Structure 1
Amino acid sequence: MRVLHVISELGAGGAETLVAGMAAHGGEYGWESAVASGGGFRARELAAAGIPTFPVPLARRSKAGVLKAAWAVRRAVTRFRPDVVLAHNVGASLVARLATRRPVVTVFHGVADADVPPAVRILRRTSRHVVAVSPATADQLAGAGLPRPAVIRNAVFARPPVFGRAEVRASLGVPAGTPVALCLARLEPQKRHDVLLDAWAAVDGDAVLWLAGDGSLRAELERRAEALGRRVEFLGTRTDVADLLAAADVTVLTSDWEGLPLAVLESLAAGRPVVATDVGGVGDVLADGGGSVVPPGDPAATAAALTTLLFDEPVRESAAAAGLRTVQRDYDPHPLLKSYDELLRGVR
């Protein structure tokens, strides 16, 4: 089966991580995979591994941009000749539908609540099937009028670290015994780094916050963090997430909305407990331990949860063990690939 993934970019985001893992491992289920995207370091990695990649200009939510992207995807379809197109999120689904009459299946990774109704209107016209990445996301879509979508929960394609904990910390100027919290998130409004920085200001003790990601809010957030000095480090976009996880003690995500964030699953798979807002599928992931859920937009609750996990080692170790059990039990990549394989073969 020939599967063409369509996604806006292939950088450091969660959907991009999932696409890269599916394209790299789809061969285990008889797939020949290719990816059409706006590029990024994961596209380069896939190309180096021999997986066909096709450039697509970013649509930028303009009519002209969508048409240019659709022409690029049409060229990819002509060259690769897929049996099915797997479009990741709404914009990619629209572009794919304009580009080809071949079956389009959408993976819905999530949008803000206000954007769900218009997303459903588009998906009803573009997609043969819609896959939600968590039950909570499926409920969102169904509530807005989409016939019940399939649910295939995201999974972790784990990568071992290249460098050790001590080496990574030394490279970033952090002593071995200093507690470190890591946030893996683009610096965009959805991720609410403003809430995280307010929470970090209330965390007492000698600890460091690493912000791994880049985006439109970087300059504003750097100004906001000036008063915190070296307690906050902006690391930019990183390709060494496994190394950063090995060097950190906990991770944190303060988003206003999510589908099923890969950052949470990757953290648990690395044995790092998580503090995250109770949005999308996060509560389900952490229901049996693995960290703490906090209300969105609540710096005080975030600070309290971070303080406990950073400075209470027995609690942190217990949460880490629970999270690892959850990932191994519920978020293994093989059931994910098997479920997609059955779905995609049924629509060819």
Structure 2
Amino acid sequence: MRVLHVISEMGAGGAEALVAGMALAGGDVGWESAVASGPGFRLESLRAAEIPVFAVPLARRSPLGVLRAVRAARVAVRRFRPDVVVAHNVSASLVARLAARRPVVTVFHGVAEADVPGAVRVLRRVSSVVVSVASAARDRLRDAGLDSVVIPNAAFPSTPAVDRATVRARLGTPLDVPVALCPARLEPQKRHDVLLDAWAQIPGDCELWLAGDGSLRADLEARADGRVRFLGTRTDVRDLFEAADVTVLTSDWEGMPIALLESLAAGRPIVASDVDGVREVLSGGGGVLVPRRNPGQTARALRGLLFSPAARSVAASHDGTADAHALMKSYDELLRTVLEGR
């Protein structure tokens, strides 16, 4: 089965991690995979594995931007000749439908609550089947009038390339300094303002690492204290999990963040907003849920873990989440069913 993934870019986000993992693991379930996307560092690993990569410019929210993306996607379809297209999120699904006379399976990673009705209007018209990455995402779509299949996200296996001591030495952080890591783009959804307000309430010698970049960086740098490290976009987040003590995420909404699944795989406890897919990730343990937009409770949860190895060990224990093998099997069964029903 020839599977073409279409996505806006291949940078540091969770959807991008899923595409890379699925493309690289596709051979295990009998796929020939290709990726059509804008730029991003994850394309390097795909090219190294000889997975075809096709350049598709970001589908800006304008007719001209969509037209350019469709033209580039048509080239990818013509050259790769996929049996099925897997499009990640709404704009990629629109581009895929306009570019390919093939079944389009949409992976819905989530949008802000206010954007759900608009997403449903588009997906009804362009998608053969919609996959929600979490039950909460399915429920939001269903409430807006669209049924979907749930295939929970999973973290693909990886081994840190660099050990804890080496990573900390490179960043100039002593081994005995407690570190919280926030792996998230510096964009409004992620609510780093809440995190910085919480961090200001945590005294002592500790560091907050912000792994990600975005439109809010200058504003956040202006309000952060000297214990906050802005690391920018990273290609070594798995190494950062190894070097940190706690993972923190204060988002307003999430689908099912793969970064948190990777944190659990690395044995790092999590402090995160009690929202949608995050709640599902931590349903079997692995960390502490805090109310959304609540710096005080976020600070208390972080204090309880940062300065107590015993508390971190207890918090990190969990019942496990979906693994990559189960994810690939579920997608394979779904795609083959879609093709049989054409």
TM over 0.5: yes
Q: CA deviation at 1:133?
A: 0.2
- Structure 1 residue matching 2:42: 3-state secondary structure: helix
Q: CA deviation at 1:288?
A: 2.5
Q: Give the aligned length.
A: 339
1:278 equivalent among 267, 274, 277: 274
Moved over 2 A (4+): none
User: Which residue of 1 is the match for residue 255 of structure 2?
Assistant: 259
- Structure 2 residue matching 1:276: 3-state secondary structure: strand
Q: CA deviation at 1:47?
A: 1.0
Residue 272 (structure 2) pairs with residue 250 (structure 1): no
Structure 1 CA distance for aligned equivalents of residues 114 and 279 of structure 2 = 21
User: Which residue of 1 is the match for residue 163 of structure 2?
Assistant: 164
User: Which residue of 2 is the match for residue 28 of structure 1?
Assistant: 28
Residue 104 (structure 2) pairs with residue 108 (structure 1): no
User: Which residue of 2 is the match for residue 64 of structure 1?
Assistant: 64
Structure 1 CA distance for aligned equivalents of residues 66 and 106 of structure 2 = 17
Q: Which amino acid aligns with 1:317?
A: S
In structure 2, stretches of 5+ residues that fail to align are none
8 Å contact kept, 2:194–2:250: yes
- Structure 2 residue matching 1:167: 3-state secondary structure: helix
- Structure 1 residue matching 2:276: 3-state secondary structure: coil
User: Which residue of 2 is the match for residue 144 of structure 1?
Assistant: 144
Q: CA deviation at 1:283?
A: 1.0
Residue 330 (structure 2) pairs with residue 339 (structure 1): yes
- Structure 1 residue matching 2:65: 3-state secondary structure: helix
Deviations 1:156-212 (A, max 9, x none): 112111111111101111111000000000011110111111110011221100000
Structure 2 CA distance for aligned equivalents of residues 128 and 49 of structure 1 = 29
Structure 2 CA distance for aligned equivalents of residues 43 and 288 of structure 1 = 33
Q: Which amino acid aligns with 1:232?
A: V
Q: Which amino acid aligns with 1:333?
A: A
8 Å contact kept, 2:178–2:307: yes
Q: CA deviation at 1:287?
A: 2.0
User: Which residue of 2 is the match for residue 17 of structure 1?
Assistant: 17
* Counterpart mapping for 1:32-51 below 5 A: 32-51=32-51
Residue 196 (structure 2) pairs with residue 197 (structure 1): yes
User: Which residue of 1 is the match for residue 233 of structure 2?
Assistant: 237
Q: Which amino acid aligns with 1:154?
A: N
8 Å contact kept, 2:180–2:306: yes
Q: Which amino acid aligns with 1:196?
A: L
User: Which residue of 2 is the match for residue 303 of structure 1?
Assistant: 299
In structure 1, stretches of 5+ residues that fail to align are none
Q: CA deviation at 1:100?
A: 1.2
8 Å contact kept, 2:157–2:324: no
* Structure 1 length-normalised TM: 0.96
State the identity %.
69
Structure 2 CA distance for aligned equivalents of residues 301 and 71 of structure 1 = 49
